[in-house]
Amino acid sequence: MNQSVVQIIKICSNSSQPFLYRSTAYLFRQSIRYKFKRFGDRPVGESLKILDREYRTDEWTNIPNKVIDLIERPDPLYKTLGNPIYLIAESLRQHYNDFECFHYPDPVVTTWQNFDSILVPSNHVSRSKADTFYVDRQHVLRSHTSAHQSECFKHLKNVANQASYDPKFMIIGDVYRRDEVNRTHHAAFHQAEIVQLYSEQHCRMTTSLFDESNKNRTNYCQERHNLDAIRIVENELKSQVESYIHLLFDSKDGDPIQMRWIPAYFPFTHPSWELEIQLPRKNFTDGDNEDLDNSEWLEMLGCGIVEQSILDRDGHSNRIGWALGFGLERLAMLYYSIPDIRLFWTRDTGFSVQFDRLKPFERYQYQTISTYPQKIFDISFWLPLECVEWSANDVHAIILEIGGHLVEQAHLMDEWIRPKDGRRSNCYRIVYRSHERALTNDEVNLIHHRIEETLVKELNVEIR
């Protein structure tokens, strides 16, 4: 973990926050973004299509075309092999493997879903056009995966009652907030919402979940809740989170990661907490950098006990439960030492090739890719007629021997057997790029031609 990544994670703590912005953070961002607040406004009455659903613009509409392009990408990051967001999402699915997982591809939700369903006050600053993307007065781009919480509760109500089990589920998806786009902020990012409910027969306790004599809300408990039951649920919530964080960040030969729980406020949970982590010195790559503050605490998630009024409304009045939210970009930037949030959206294969063979929880440190353009060349050849032993490693060795550090990637792209005589053909794609300057077609052609000549001479292939 390098110093710049830790600093960036600190900076973007609010932008990728799993739950709603605080008023103070909102006001600070407003001062920065004021001049951009009308960007994306459209003429009233126009047709606006998002994922084949048509809307009519009004005075609230403020979605730029660039954001719609992100929504309509055919490869959602959390489902794209070779993207760190997918790897982090998969690590959560593996850790919470008995939780039902929901995906909602369409990010357009009603204002009731995004705000009212999770008890956001009508005058809350997060409802502002400067903070939220409005499709029209009644529809927004979800600004958190919590927008689908009520939908999941209602869906699981009958199933849970019939099967006599307590719902536990996860929602993974892309979310959108109006913000600047730089290395620490992006209009689109990803969250995982994780929820578990408990009924009396399945909660390991000797007392009731509810205490009707409890009429007052305290810092530790909602009204009507049994404090002993809440403490059991709180401990289970925190232990599940801590086990995942340890699994993700603890090094085999280093000290365990340090964590602390901070009281927090969210409209839809009480009591609520944020988890902060402190990375051990051995987890940092800049070990000789004396400027690195090893005591830095980084916020990782928000969570809490679900407001009982939400459960009562959505058909789970006999249950209590917890909810938590992870920002996937924040986890990925820390885990893989990725210094720029925009890299998750790049189609540059110099980025994706670093992750396409990784498994969840497999450690890797991102290697900076060049800012200069790639030069992509293919080479096709017939294998020797009498080919007893053939090794692709020999091809790679020649490519790297001649191309050297200018070869960024080389891989077998296609294999083909000619039907009439069974002769085999291979096609390799070679990506050239320099970290120091822009390569010209002429110089890459010379290198590529030398590779072809050497393959013919050393491996007896026939260039097609």
* DSSP annotation string for 25-57: HHHHHHHHHGGGTTTT---TT-EEEETTEEEE-
Query: Residue 51's pLDDT is what?
Result: 95
List the structure tokens of 221.
């408990």
Query: Residue 119's pLDDT is what?
Result: 97
**282 shares a domain with 381:** no
List alpha helices for 315-428, DSSP H: 328-336, 349-352, 392-403
Tell me how many domains the chain contains.
Answer: 2
**287 shares a domain with 173:** yes
Query: Residue 297's pLDDT is what?
Result: 87
Query: Residue 96's pLDDT is what?
Result: 96
pLDDT of 120 above 90: yes
For residues 169-181, give the mean pLDDT. 89
Query: Residue 184's pLDDT is what?
Result: 72
Q: What percent of the chain has pLDDT over 70?
A: 85
We report the CATH number of the domain holding residue 393 as 3.30.70.380
For residues 389-402, give the mean pLDDT. 82
Q: Considering the domain boundaries, does residue 358 fall inside one?
A: no
Q: Residue 332 CB: number of other CB atoms within 10 A?
A: 26
Query: Residue 369's pLDDT is what?
Result: 86
Q: Considering the domain boundaries, does residue 320 fall inside one?
A: yes
**380 shares a domain with 347:** no
CA distance 373 to 47: 38
The DSSP output letter for 203 is: S
**456 shares a domain with 334:** no
**425 shares a domain with 339:** no
**38-74 burial, b if ≥16 CB within 10 A, otherwise e?**
eebbeeeeeebebeeeebebbebbbbeeebbebbeee
Q: Considering the domain boundaries, does residue 109 fall inside one?
A: yes
For residues 145-153, give the mean pLDDT. 96
pLDDT of 17 above 70: no
pLDDT of 15 above 60: no
The DSSP output letter for 251 is: -
Query: Residue 158's pLDDT is what?
Result: 76
Cα three-residue angle 412-418-423, rounded to 5 degrees: 75
Q: Residue 12 CB: number of other CB atoms within 10 A?
A: 22
pLDDT of 388 above 90: no
**348 shares a domain with 408:** no
We report the CATH number of the domain holding residue 139 as 3.30.930.10
The DSSP output letter for 225 is: B
Least confident range of 72-76, 251-255, 330-334, 419-423: 251-255
**306 shares a domain with 181:** yes
**Domain of 441, in residue numbers:** 375-463
pLDDT of 447 above 90: yes
pLDDT 10s digits, 265-323 = 999 999 999 999 987 554 444 433 343 344 578 899 999 999 999 999 999 999 999 99
pLDDT of 100 above 50: yes
Q: Considering the domain boundaries, does residue 279 fall inside one?
A: yes
Q: What percent of the chain has pLDDT over 90?
A: 61
**Strands 269-278, 298-306: parallel, antiparallel or unpaired by DSSP?**
antiparallel
CA distance 69 to 76: 12
| Among 203, 217, 59, residue whose Cα is nearest residue 138 | 59
Q: Considering the domain boundaries, does residue 312 fall inside one?
A: yes
**260 shares a domain with 180:** yes
For residues 91-108, give the mean pLDDT. 96
**340 shares a domain with 244:** yes
Least confident range of 16-25, 354-363, 409-418: 16-25
Most confident of 33-47, 81-95, 173-187, 383-397: 81-95
Segment holding 441, helix H or strand E: helix 441-459
Looking at every residue in the chain, the average pLDDT score rounds to 86
pLDDT of 190 above 70: yes
Q: Residue 320 CB: number of other CB atoms within 10 A?
A: 26
**252 shares a domain with 160:** yes
For residues 185-189, give the mean pLDDT. 87
Q: Considering the domain boundaries, does residue 367 fall inside one?
A: no
CA distance 190 to 420: 51
Prior bond of 167 cis (ω within 30°) = no
| Among 450, 408, 445, 456, residue whose Cα is nearest residue 429 | 408
Q: Residue 218 CB: number of other CB atoms within 10 A?
A: 12
CA distance 233 to 446: 67
**171 shares a domain with 106:** yes
**450 shares a domain with 312:** no
For residues 316-342, give the mean pLDDT. 94
